[in-house]
Structure 1
Amino acid sequence: MQNKGTSGPKGFVVQPRRLPKTTASVRVQDFGEIIVKPTTENIEVQAGRCTDCGVPFCQNACPLQNNIPDWLGLSAEDEMREAWRVASATSTMPEICGRICPQDRLCEGSCTLNQSGWEAVTIGSVEAFIGDTAFDNGWVEPIRPAHERGQSVGIVGAGPAGLAAADRLRSAGYAVTVYDRHDRPGGLLIYGIPGFKLEKRVVQRRTDRLIEGGVEFVQNCNLGVDVTLDELREKHDAVLLAMGVYQARALSVPGGGPGDTVPALDFLIHQNRRDLGEVDNDTWHNAKGRKVVVIGGGDTAMDCVRTAIRQGAESVVCLYRRDRDNMPGSAREVQNAEEEGVVFEWLGAPKALMSRDGTVSSVRAARMALSEPEFGKRREIVPVPGGDFDLQADLVIEALGFEPEEFAAHHNELSLTQWNTVAVARSGFATSLPGVYAAGDAVRGASLVVWAVRDGQDAAAEIDRYLRTQTEEQAA
C-alpha cells in the first residue's frame, strides 16, 4: 500500500522530517506555543514516514507504552478518530504529552529512522494533533461511569499523576476528590511549564472534563495544614498521595543571602499567572531590561532562560557545570533557547555572588573540566586552576533541581526512602499505611510528566483492585 504524499512505498524515502516552528524573532514576542499548527495533510505525510518496523523501538522507549506505530499508520490514512481511540487507550492526556515530552530522549530518539541515519518521525506533533482534533470534533467522550461503586478515593495533588488517576478512577465509578495546594488544578502543568510549551487552555479543557464527569477539586488545601492524612483516611476508602516535589535545591556560595537569587519555580509561577490573566504586582519577578544568569542545566533551567528572553531581558546566560553532551535537559530545548538568543556557559560552576551597593552585580564562576570517562560512571567535574571568570548579573535564578518535602510530617508511620520520597511496595504503589498509595514524583523524585501520567494510571488500577477486593470480602 502506498502512503499519501509519497512517490514510493514508504514516505520516509522521499519526505524529510518537518516540524515547523515560528521563527525565533517572532516567537520571543509572546508566550504562545512555538510549533506551528500543522494541517491534516502535513500530519498524514509525516505519520506516513513511519517504517512500521517489526520491533517498535519507539513504543518500547515510551513510559506509557503507547501504540505509536498503530496511531501513526491510522493518521497517515486520515483515520483520525480511530487514531484517537488507540492513543487514548494508553494515555489520559495524549495532547499534553505530545507537546511536552522530551521526545528526542524517548520515542523519537529510539525511532528506527533516527537510528539508521534518517531523521525521526515527528511523533510528538502527530500525537498532539490527534488529541487536539479529538477535542475540536467532540470525540473526547465525557466521563459517564457504567455504575457508581459507592466508594470514594481522595487524591492529594492535582498535577499530572493526580489528574491521570482521577480520570481512571472516576471512569471506573468511584467518587473522587482531589486536594491541591494551588488555586487551580493542574499543578506543574498549569504553574510550572511555560505557555510557549503548553498553553493553559490545553490543560484547562482536561480539568474541565474531570469536573463535568463528577470529580471534585478542593483547592488551596495543604496536606498537614488544612487537612491531615488521618482525616483523609477516615473520609475516603482509599487515598493516593500524588504530590509533586517542590523543595528547591538551594545555591550555597559566599555572597548569597535572602533575596539575592530567585527560585526557578517562583519565577515561572509568576509568569504563568500573568498568562492566566492575573494582574502584575511589585512582588512578581520580571526580567525586563535586566542581565539574567540562570544556574542549572535541566529542563526547568531551559524554561527559565526562555521565559526571561520573552520578558525582555537585556541578556540571558545559562551557567552549567558540565558540557552540552552531559546536561540533563532536552537537547531540543537547548537548541530552541540558542535560537532565541540565550548564551550558554558550559563547564562553569558558580563560586560566589558579587554585590555592589547591596545588590547582586555578577556571578563569579569557576571553569571546570570533565574527568576521564569510566565505564558505567558519570564523568566527574574538576576545577581548572586559574580559570575563574565573572558574569554580569542583576537577576540570578536558581534552577538546581528539586527535592521531596517533609513527607514524614504527614504521618509518623508513613515509611520513606533514603531520599525522603514515599516508600512503596516493590511491585506497586501501596505505602506502609493500609489503604494509602503513592505515585509520581512523590515516589520517583523530580521526573518527567509522562512518568507521572504512567504512575497515576497504574496506581488507579491498583486502587481499583484493592477496593474491589474489599467489597468482595465484605460481601462474603
Structure 2
Amino acid sequence: MGKPTGFMEYKREKPHEEPPKKRIKHFGEYGERFTDEQLKVQGARCMDCGTPFCHMGIEIRGVAAGCPIQNVIPEWNDLVYRGQWKDALDRLLMTNNFPEFTGRVCPAPCESSCTLAISEPAVAIKGIERSIIDKGFEEGWITPRIPKTRTGKKIAIVGSGPAGLTAADDLNQDGHQVTVFERDDRPGGLLMYGIPSMKLDKDVVLRRVHLLSQEGIQFIVNCEIGKDRTLDELKEEFDAVILCVGAQRQRVLHLPGDDADGIIPAMTYLSSTTKSLLDGEKKAPIDVKGKHVLVIGGGDTGADCVATALRQKCKSVVQFGKHPRLGNDRDNDHMWPADPGIFKMDYAYEEAEAVTGKDPREYLIQTKRIEKDASGKVTALHTIEMDKVMGEDGFHYFREIPGSERVWLADVVFVAIGFEGIDLEVTEGTDLELSSNRIRASRTSYATNLPGVFTAGDARRGQSLVVWAIKEGKEAAQKVNTYLVKEKVAI
C-alpha cells in the first residue's frame, strides 16, 4: 500500500499529454511519464485493502479482471511512495518482462479491479508502471543480464511479438540458446507494426530488442517460416520450436461492392504507415490527405485508423460501430471487479473532437452495400441503423430500423472488424493441427500435436491483449524449459 490516508487526500491524475491539436501534427508519443513527485503522490493513493484484486489475473465473462501476469502492484506502489525507485523497478521486473510496453498500450484491467474503483477513480496503476520502467532506463538501471552458463539446447521462436519476445527472454535467462525468426524487416511484430508510433514509439521497441540481443538472443528478420524456411527444417535444427505467429489474418467484408478500389484492411494501413515513417519516406503508401475516410469497426484498431488519418490531414473521418454507445456509469452487467464497460474518450476521439467539433463514432450502424464509380473506385457506403434487442431465448439480436437508411461519402474505407486467426503459410506441408483457425495446443503444456513444437499468444488463444500474450509467452517458456531439461512434457 501507499500512504494510509492517501486515497482520501489525493486525486487521481494522468501523466502529461500533449494537447490534441498539437500532437496530430506529428507521429511521436503524445503521453509522458509521471514526474517523480507525481509518482509519489499517485503511489500514495494505493489502499491497504486487505485482499488486492488488482493482480488476481482472471477472466470474467471473457474479459480480463486484474493483471494477467500478477504484477505485485501494491508493493511497487508503496515503494514509489517511499521514493525507493530502484526497489520498485526490481519488484516490477519480477513479473513483467516488458513494462515499457504494457505501461503504454495495455487497457489496464488492473485498474478496473482496483478496490478504490468501487467508489472513486482507481489508482493510476498503468501510469505508475510506465513511469517506473522509464525512470529505470533514464537512470541506467536497466543493463544486459548475461546468463552465466549455457545448456547447449537450441530453441527457435517464430514471431517476435510480445509472446515471442517474452518466451525468448525467459528461455535465454534459463541458459538456452534462442533464435527468433521474424518475417518483417524489423523485430517486434505487433509492437512494431501493429500499434501506431503515437501510442508506442518504435525506439522503445528497438531499445528492448537491442538489450535482448546483447543478452545473447539472435534475431533473424525477413524470414517467413513456411516460405523462406519450413517448420520441418526448424524441427531438425533446434531442440524445440515455439510458434508465436499471432492472429494476423484480417476479417474481410462480404458485401455488394466490396471489391471496390479504396477498401483497405486496417492493419495494412497502419503497418504501411509505420514502415514509411521508419524508412524516412516523404509520403506514406496509403495517404488520405484531403479525403473522406470511413472506418468500419468500433475497436482500438479502428481508433488507431482515425488517429492516423487525422495526422495525414484527411478531409473527414467517421467510425462505424455495430454496438450501442456505452453508458457513463457501471451497470449490473459489469459489476466490480470486472471491466466497468463504460463510455471512454480514447486518444483518437479526443483528437477528432478537437479538430472537427464532434466524436467521430457512429453507433448501431450496419453497412449494407458499397457504391463505386465507373472506374471501380469507392464513392459511398449505404447503411441502416440497428436496434439491439433481447430475444425470448435470452440472447441479444440486432434488428434493422426501417426508414433509417443513409448514404455516406467515402474516398477510402478502412476495415477494422477483427482477425480470423493465423496466416496459414506456417502450417502448409505439415501435420500441425488447427482449431478455429488457431494452432491447437494443450491448455496446460502449450504443446502442439507435433513433438517438440509449442505455441503461445494470439496464435493459440486468438486475438487478445499484449499483457495476455506476455503471460502466454512466460508460461510457454516454463513448459519448454521443463521439456528440454527432462526431455519430456505432459500433454
Report if aligned partners of 2:103, 2:130 keep a CA contact under 8 Å in 1.
yes
1:325 is displaced (CA, Å) by: 2.4
SS in 2 for 1:135: helix
The correspondence for 1:112, drawn from 115, 125, 131, is 115
The correspondence for 2:87, drawn from 66, 82, 89, is 82
Question: Which residues in structure 2 correspond to 1:73-472 (within 5 Å)?
Answer: 73-103=78-108, 106-115=109-118, 117-257=119-259, 259-280=261-282, 284-325=285-326, 334-341=345-352, 342-358=359-375, 359-372=377-390, 377=395, 379-404=396-421, 405-406=423-424, 409-417=427-435, 419-470=436-487
Aligned partners of 1:185 and 1:270: how far apart in 2?
Answer: 15
Partner of 1:14: 9
Indicate the RMSD between aligned Cα atoms, in angstroms. Answer: 2.2
The C-alpha deviation readout for 1:65-109, integer Å capped at 9, x for no partner, is 111111111111111111111111111101110110011xx1111
Aligned partners of 2:394 and 2:181: how far apart in 1?
Answer: 41
SS in 1 for 2:381: strand
Matched, 1:57 2:53: yes
Which one-letter code corresponds to 2:468 in the other structure?
W
Distance 1:299 1:329, change over 3 A: farther
Report if aligned partners of 1:354, 1:361 keep a CA contact under 8 Å in 2.
yes
Which one-letter code corresponds to 2:144 in the other structure?
P
Distance 1:78 1:374, change over 3 A: farther
The C-alpha deviation readout for 1:423-444, integer Å capped at 9, x for no partner, is 1113220110111100001101
Question: Structure 1 regions of 5+ residues with no counterpart?
Answer: 4-8
SS in 2 for 1:56: coil
SS in 2 for 1:396: strand
Identify which range, 199-208 or 20-29, moves more after superposition. 20-29
1:47 is displaced (CA, Å) by: 1.1
The correspondence for 1:30, drawn from 13, 26, 30, is 26
Matched, 1:47 2:43: yes
Report if aligned partners of 2:194, 2:271 keep a CA contact under 8 Å in 1.
yes
Identify which range, 335-344 or 246-255, moves more after superposition. 335-344
Partner of 1:6: none
Distance 1:453 1:374, change over 3 A: farther
Partner of 1:66: 71
Question: Structure 2 regions of 5+ residues with no counterpart?
Answer: 57-65, 328-338, 353-358
1:274 is displaced (CA, Å) by: 3.1
SS in 1 for 2:55: helix
Aligned partners of 1:271 and 1:62: how far apart in 2?
Answer: 31
Aligned partners of 1:125 and 1:158: how far apart in 2?
Answer: 25
Which one-letter code corresponds to 2:408 in the other structure?
L
Distance 1:375 1:276, change over 3 A: farther
Which one-letter code corresponds to 1:461 in the other structure?
Q
Which one-letter code corresponds to 2:294 in the other structure?
V
| Runs of 4+ in structure 1 over 3 Å off | 328-335, 373-377, 407-412
Matched positions, count? 460
1:331 is displaced (CA, Å) by: 6.4
1:22 is displaced (CA, Å) by: 2.0
Report if aligned partners of 2:371, 2:378 keep a CA contact under 8 Å in 1.
yes
Aligned partners of 2:17 and 2:283: how far apart in 1?
Answer: 32
Aligned partners of 1:185 and 1:237: how far apart in 2?
Answer: 23
TM-score by length of 2: 0.89
Distance 1:257 1:471, change over 3 A: closer
The C-alpha deviation readout for 1:344-396, integer Å capped at 9, x for no partner, is 1101011111223432121111111101278975x221211121111111111
Name the % identity: 40
Report if aligned partners of 1:223, 1:410 keep a CA contact under 8 Å in 2.
no
Report if aligned partners of 2:230, 2:426 keep a CA contact under 8 Å in 1.
no
Aligned partners of 1:95 and 1:330: how far apart in 2?
Answer: 25
The C-alpha deviation readout for 1:108-137, integer Å capped at 9, x for no partner, is 11111111x210111101101111111112
Report if aligned partners of 1:102, 1:330 keep a CA contact under 8 Å in 2.
no
Distance 1:274 1:2, change over 3 A: closer
Aligned partners of 1:469 and 1:2: how far apart in 2?
Answer: 43
